[in-house]
Amino acid sequence: MKASNIGLWITGAVFAWIGWIMLDMSRPVTIPSKSATSLEEVQNSKLPVLVEFYADWCGPCRKVGPVVEALSEELTGRAKVIRVNVDEQRILAAQHGIRSIPTFIVFKNGSEVKRQTGAIPKTAMLRMLEL
């Protein structure tokens, strides 16, 4: 590769990147039926609801995921715990203003009452739920 061709390589890479972005943005976003259920669970629940917004590729999300799953079983009857994959449910994540993951939001009577971002310990999750 000649030094004089470096500009062509950079230009080609930029055009490939722009093309990839345009192609990715043109794909329709589908919302699985699960996301509508999650919203209904939050809105109609008499119990406090802890929602974790996460992604499978996120290291901190993978670390805290098993804790959230165990907490879901442990709090049966006292609170609901829902995990929302931001890659599968982009619109739901956008509706709740998710900018980084993991993000934990507590809802009571359908309204957001607390929010925390980052991999938090189980005790912090319980404090958020006030349990």
The C-alpha R_g of the chain, in whole angstroms, comes to 20
User: Residue 77: helix, strand or coil by DSSP?
Assistant: coil
Which one of 49, 50, 61, 125 is the catalytic residue?
Answer: 61
From the number of C-beta atoms within 10 Å of its C-beta (0-12, 13-18, 19+), residue 39 rates as: middle
Surface-to-core class of residue 113, CB atoms within 10 Å of its CB (0-12 exposed, 13-18 middle, 19+ buried)? middle
Our measurement of the distance from residue 70's CA atom to the centroid of its chain's CA atoms, rounded to an integer in Å, reads: 18
Catalytic residue selected from 42, 49, 50, 58: 58
61 is catalytic: yes
CB 118 within 8 A of CB 60: yes
Instruction: Establish whether 58 is a catalytic residue.
Output: yes
Residues taking part in catalysis = 58, 61
